[in-house]
């Protein structure tokens, strides 16, 4: 089992498999990897990713999420999934642009479910936020992922002041229509991380959460980051509010691997321990060393 110095048990792993992306979102944190560093262009092979995932599994990790950049840009993405050890859940976060093409193959490779980033249903707003993306491709991708049973799908909506902060109800309606029989899709309302340059988009989502909470028939408190889910009719809305939130950090059970093979203890911190190329005891010890560096950001 992996436990850090603050008693937090690490159960979730997030592996970036590329830094390349086919969109260029105005607010992207790039999973905490710096854009300009040369080594970010280096990608791990399927074998390297699999070896690292197996070491984490041996150490007690239960769930893995594949991320990027855009993970669906890697031609060997299905090989990466099928090379994973037997985790309780293998999921992916994607912008959804290639999902309608790949959803069935991903399911056949062993992917359990997807998170799809969709900040607005409005063509022009989506295009502006993503710097050129076509929202219809994402909507088609979500529909195919539903058919392929990559469910529950989580739609990730990052709230951006003045751009989409008035659009939560229309996103809920979109999800409600998709969920007509059962809950296949959950809305995740995400507070933007206040990174340098992003202050102009920052909006505290406390009031949004209060508004949804006042209408909820049921509330579920999740272990992960102490997040709350609210059920209204056939829609579940989850709030992710990391900024200045000590509870969020106190209940963080996640660790990351960067696309160039470093274990990154926290999204918000620059440190990382290189694990690519290591084997056996050396690999296990390097992972434990990275876990020891974990410290709550807030």
Contact 263, 272 (CB under 8 A): yes
Nearest to 19 by CA among 44, 54, 53, 55: 44
> Given candidates 18, 83, 93, 179, which one binds ligand SAM under the rule CB under 6 A?
93
Least distance between ligand SAM and beta carbon 24 (Å): 11
3-state DSSP assignment of residue 25 = coil
Q: Which is nearer to ligand SAM, 265 or 286 (CB)?
A: 265
The total of other beta-carbon atoms located within 10 Å of residue 35's CB is 8
Among 2, 15, 31, 249, binds ligand SAM (CB under 6 A): 31
Q: Segment 110-139, which members bind ligand SAM (CB under 6 A)?
A: 117
Q: Return d(Cα 194, Cα 189) in angstroms, integer.
A: 16
Binding test (CB under 6 A) with ligand SAM, winner from 20, 26, 27, 143: 27
Q: How far apart are alpha carbons 80 and 47 in whole angstroms?
A: 8
For the bound state, the minimum distance from the C-beta of residue 4 to ligand SAM, rounded and expressed in Å, comes to 23
Pairwise CA distance, residues 150 & 92, whole Å: 10
Q: Which of 12, 95, 167, 258 binds ligand SAM (CB under 6 A)?
A: 95
Task: Please choose, out of 64-72, 167-175, 263-271, 277-285, the segment that lies near ligand SAM by the rule CB under 6 A.
Answer: 64-72
The yes or no reply on residue 67 touching ligand SAM (CB under 6 A) is: yes
For position 43 contacting ligand SAM by CB under 6 A, the verdict is no
Q: What is the CA radius of gyration of the chain?
A: 18
- What's the min distance (Å) between Cβ of 104 and ligand SAM? 20
Q: How many residues bind ligand SAM (CB under 6 A)?
A: 19
Helix (H, G, I), strand (E, B) or coil at 66: strand
- Confirm or reject binding of residue 202 to ligand SAM (CB under 6 A): no
DSSP 126-176: HHHHHTS--HHHHHHHHHHHHHTT--SEEEEEEE-TTTTTT-HHHHHHHHH
Closest among 285, 297, 294, 298 to 5, alpha carbons compared: 294
Q: Does 258 bind ligand SAM (CB under 6 A)?
A: no
Smallest gap from residue 119 Cβ to ligand SAM (A): 7
Q: Under the rule (CB under 6 A), what is the footprint of ligand SAM?
A: 21, 27-29, 31, 67-68, 70, 93-95, 117, 156, 158, 190, 192-193, 195, 198
């Amino acid at each position: 089992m992996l436990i850090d110095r603050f008693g937090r048990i690490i159960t979730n792993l997030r592996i970036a498999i590329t830094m390349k992306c086919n969109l260029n979102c105005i607010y992207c944190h790039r999973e905490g990897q710096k854009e300009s560093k040369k080594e970010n262009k280096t990608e791990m092979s399927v074998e390297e990713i699999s070896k690292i995932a197996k070491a984490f599994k041996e150490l007690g990790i239960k769930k893995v999420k594949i991320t990027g950049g855009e993970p669906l840009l890697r031609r060997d993405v299905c090989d990466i999934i099928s090379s994973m050890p037997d985790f309780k859940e293998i999921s992916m976060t994607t912008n959804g642009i290639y999902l309608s093409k790949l959803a069935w193959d991903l399911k056949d490779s062993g992917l359990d479910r997807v998170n799809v980033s969709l900040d607005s249903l409005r063509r022009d707003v989506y295009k502006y936020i993503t710097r050129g993306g076509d929202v219809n491709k994402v909507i088609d991708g979500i529909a195919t992922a539903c058919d392929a049973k990559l469910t529950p799908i989580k739609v990730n909506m990052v709230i951006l002041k003045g751009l989409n902060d008035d659009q939560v109800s229309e996103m809920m309606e979109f999800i409600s229509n998709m969920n007509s029989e059962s809950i296949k899709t959950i809305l995740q309302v995400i507070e933007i991380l206040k990174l340098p340059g992003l202050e102009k988009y920052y909006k505290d989502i406390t009031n949004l959460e209060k508004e949804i909470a006042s209408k909820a028939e049921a509330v579920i408190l999740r272990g992960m980051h102490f997040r709350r889910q609210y059920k209204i009719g056939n829609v579940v809305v989850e709030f992710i509010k990391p900024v200045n939130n000590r509870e969020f950090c106190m209940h963080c059970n996640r660790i990351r691997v960067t696309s160039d093979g470093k274990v990154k203890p926290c999204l918000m911190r620059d440190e990382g321990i290189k694990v690519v190329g290591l084997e056996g005891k050396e690999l296990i010890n390097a992972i434990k060393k990275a876990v020891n560096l974990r410290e709550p950001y807030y």
